[in-house]
């Protein structure tokens, strides 16, 4: 059941709910009640009315300094004797409040395509729009009727989806307000990921061996064992700035990509390699990784982007998979580097030449590996709502975790594979999860 809220200009600290709701919420006979809207909690006199069974009246002193838009339908529930009105959910984005305008924030509406199953108040805001003291936000609320953002002052939400990284000091302030109910705030790099995952019993066999580039002795050892390695920026994304180093006899080849062209530099010996790398790259920002002989399809490298989201029940769930194919002879399989994409299932069936049983088993093995990655990240204290994990398959069909895209992973990759349903599913996931965090999730019904 969903309700409209009307603010009545009185100072009686009263909330009036439809008479029919009293029994459903087991509130009959109660005179006073604590109400909670977002993080704001107030004591109120409880009253009831017979005007309209989908309207709640709140006296204006209870919602002082803020607005609860009347165009929104709210859900209500009782938990620990507190009447919750909500959900009140937030999205923290980059920029300053003064710079925000409707055309600029239009893109964020993509997260609300399934608003019909979220309901309540969704507030878009920037860091400078937060008033920590009053627990209020100057930002934009979503109006589901005309599908537009409306500026105003709103209660601070109970759960926040972060679309930007934040400083440690802001993290502490957020924590004080809403505990652990904010997600996607952590950004980690490839080296941190390797350090965490390599300690996991279940993951270490799926990780390419990795060392820090500044440690040239280790790099040399890696070269001696594998002959081929990748030099990757710790914080890089989308396959940019990746070098491949290969050893043939005493000679080394460094290959990389500049403007859609594959470039090769031949270096005579290890000293030359060392000199070259030390002068050309800031090695502190790089890792070196064993090159996995990934499966190729017509000479195009392929790997799988597995999209994992926290679902409406707060559980990790794989929403889909896209297989990426690199440009011919390119060292990476990124679409931005001239590659293409296909639905993950199709690609696996082709890989197994139509043996759908084998394809299914591999598909589920990939899912399991991706879910294990999520669980390990979570055990490191990272609160994530969705991530994209790149998992490669080698010539022996063994799986390898190549990369994790955790900073606002780009989900348009689903569109590259022409999978609109996957794109919509992924886009709508963060607010379903936020709703669950705000304790308005899961399946519930109201008795007559």
Partner 1 sequence: MLYEVNAEDLSSNSLFLPESTAESFGIENKQTVTLSFGKRKKPVTIHTLHSNHDSKILVSKNVRSELLIDTDVKYEMVYSNNELMLGPIIGLLLAKSDVRLQKYMQHYLIYTMLYEQINGILFVFCEQQIDFTNEKITGYVFDPSTPENWRKAELPFPKAVFRRVELSQKTLTELSEKIGAGFFNAQYFDKWQFWNWLSPYEELRKHLAETTNKVTLTNLNLFIDKYNGVYLKPKNGSRGKGIYYIEKHKNQYVILENYQDNIRQLSSEQMITFLSKHSYYLLQQPIHLHTFEERKVDYRVILQKDGTGHWQCTGIIARFGNTNAISSNFKANGFAMEGTLALMTQFGYDELTAFKKYQEIISICRKMACTVDEIAGGYADLGIDIGIDKDGKVWVIEMNKRPDHDFPLFIKDRKMYYSVKSNPVLFAKYIAMGN
- The site for partner 1 (CB under 8 A) is made up of 1, 113-114, 116-117, 201, 311, 313, 315-317, 345, 356-357, 359-361, 363-365, 368, 420-421, 424-425, 428, 443-448
To partner 1, the closest distance from the beta carbon of 387 in angstroms equals 16
To partner 1, the closest distance from the beta carbon of 357 in angstroms equals 7
Question: Please, which residue, 49 or 117, has the CB nearer to partner 1?
Answer: 117
| Cα 234 to chain centroid, rounded | 20
Question: Please, which residue, 291 or 343, has the CB nearer to partner 1?
Answer: 343
The closest alpha carbon to 403, from 292, 264, 261, belongs to 292
Angle in degrees, 0-180, between the axes of helices 356-379 and 190-198, rounded to the nearest 10: 100
Query: Which letter does DSSP use for residue 98 in this model?
Result: G
Question: Please, which residue, 140 or 436, has the CB nearer to partner 1?
Answer: 436
To partner 1, the closest distance from the beta carbon of 218 in angstroms equals 27
The closest alpha carbon to 76, from 9, 107, 124, 121, belongs to 121
To partner 1, the closest distance from the beta carbon of 114 in angstroms equals 5
C-alpha span between 180 and 41 (Å, rounded): 18
Beta-carbon contacts of 106 under 8 Å, excluding residues fewer than 6 positions away, are none
To partner 1, the closest distance from the beta carbon of 360 in angstroms equals 4
Question: Please, which residue, 276 or 424, has the CB nearer to partner 1?
Answer: 424
Question: Please, which residue, 259 or 444, has the CB nearer to partner 1?
Answer: 444
Alpha-carbon distance values, 437 to 53, 311, 434, 442 (Å):
28, 11, 5, 10
The closest alpha carbon to 195, from 384, 376, 32, belongs to 376
To partner 1, the closest distance from the beta carbon of 319 in angstroms equals 11
| Cβ atoms within 10 Å, residue 411 | 24
To partner 1, the closest distance from the beta carbon of 47 in angstroms equals 23
C-alpha span between 442 and 42 (Å, rounded): 26
Between strands 182-183 and 82-86, the pairing is unpaired
Question: Please, which residue, 146 or 298, has the CB nearer to partner 1?
Answer: 146
Question: Please, which residue, 267 or 374, has the CB nearer to partner 1?
Answer: 374
Between strands 210-212 and 228-233, the pairing is unpaired
- Name the token pair of 134: 């009053």
Question: Please, which residue, 75 or 327, has the CB nearer to partner 1?
Answer: 75
Question: Please, which residue, 22 or 237, has the CB nearer to partner 1?
Answer: 22
Query: Which letter does DSSP use for residue 394 in this model?
Result: B
The closest alpha carbon to 394, from 296, 247, 255, 322, belongs to 296
Query: Which letter does DSSP use for residue 51 in this model?
Result: S
To partner 1, the closest distance from the beta carbon of 83 in angstroms equals 19
Kindly give the residue spans of alpha helices, DSSP state H, lying in 199-343.
216-226, 270-280
To partner 1, the closest distance from the beta carbon of 208 in angstroms equals 22
- Name the token pair of 170: 């802001």
C-alpha span between 119 and 435 (Å, rounded): 9
To partner 1, the closest distance from the beta carbon of 364 in angstroms equals 6
Question: Please, which residue, 339 or 441, has the CB nearer to partner 1?
Answer: 441
């Amino acid at each position: 059941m969903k309700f409209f809220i009307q603010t009545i200009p009185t100072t009686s600290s009263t909330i009036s709910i439809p008479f029919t709701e009293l029994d459903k919420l087991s509130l009959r006979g109660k005179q006073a009640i604590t109400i909670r809207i977002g993080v704001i909690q107030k004591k109120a006199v409880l009253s009831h009315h017979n005007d309209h069974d989908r309207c709640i009246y709140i006296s204006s002193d209870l919602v002082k300094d803020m607005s609860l838009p009347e165009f929104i339908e709210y859900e209500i529930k009782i938990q620990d004797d507190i009447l919750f009105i909500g959900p009140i959910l937030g999205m923290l984005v980059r920029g300053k409040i003064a710079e925000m305008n409707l055309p600029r924030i239009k893109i964020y509406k993509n997260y609300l395509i399934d608003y019909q199953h979220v309901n309540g108040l969704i507030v878009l805001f920037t860091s400078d729009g937060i008033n920590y003291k009053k627990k209020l936000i100057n930002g934009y609320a979503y109006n589901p009727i005309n599908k537009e953002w409306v500026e105003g002052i709103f209660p601070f939400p109970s759960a926040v989806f972060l679309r930007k990284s934040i400083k440690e000091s802001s993290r502490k302030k957020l924590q004080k307000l809403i505990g652990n109910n904010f997600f996607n705030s952590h950004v980690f790099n490839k080296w941190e990921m390797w350090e965490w995952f390599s300690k996991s019993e279940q993951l270490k066999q799926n990780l390419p061996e990795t060392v820090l580039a500044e440690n040239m002795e280790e790099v040399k050892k890696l070269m001696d064992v594998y002959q081929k390695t990748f030099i990757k920026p710790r914080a890089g994304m989308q396959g940019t700035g990746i070098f491949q180093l290969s050893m043939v006899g005493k000679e080394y080849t460094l290959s990389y990509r500049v403007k859609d062209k594959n470039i090769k530099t031949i270096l005579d010996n290890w000293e030359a390699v060392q000199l070259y790398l030390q002068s050309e790259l800031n090695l502190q920002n790089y890792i070196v990784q064993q090159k996995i002989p990934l499966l190729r399809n017509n000479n195009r490298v392929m790997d799988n982007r597995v999209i994992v989201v926290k679902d409406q029940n707060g559980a990790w769930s794989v929403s889909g998979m896209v297989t990426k194919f690199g440009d011919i002879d390119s060292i990476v399989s990124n679409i931005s580097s001239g590659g293409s994409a296909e639905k993950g299932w199709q690609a696996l069936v082709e890989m197994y030449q139509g043996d759908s049983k084998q394809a299914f088993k591999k598909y589920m093995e990939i899912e399991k590996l991706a879910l294990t990655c999520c669980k390990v990240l979570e055990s490191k204290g990272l609160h994530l709502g969705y991530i994209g994990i790149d998992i490669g398959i080698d010539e022996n069909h063994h799986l390898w975790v190549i990369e994790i895209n955790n900073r606002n992973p780009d989900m348009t990759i689903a569109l590259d594979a022409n999978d609109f349903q996957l794109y919509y599913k992924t886009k709508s996931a963060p607010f379903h999860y936020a709703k669950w965090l705000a304790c308005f999730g899961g399946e519930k019904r109201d008795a007559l």
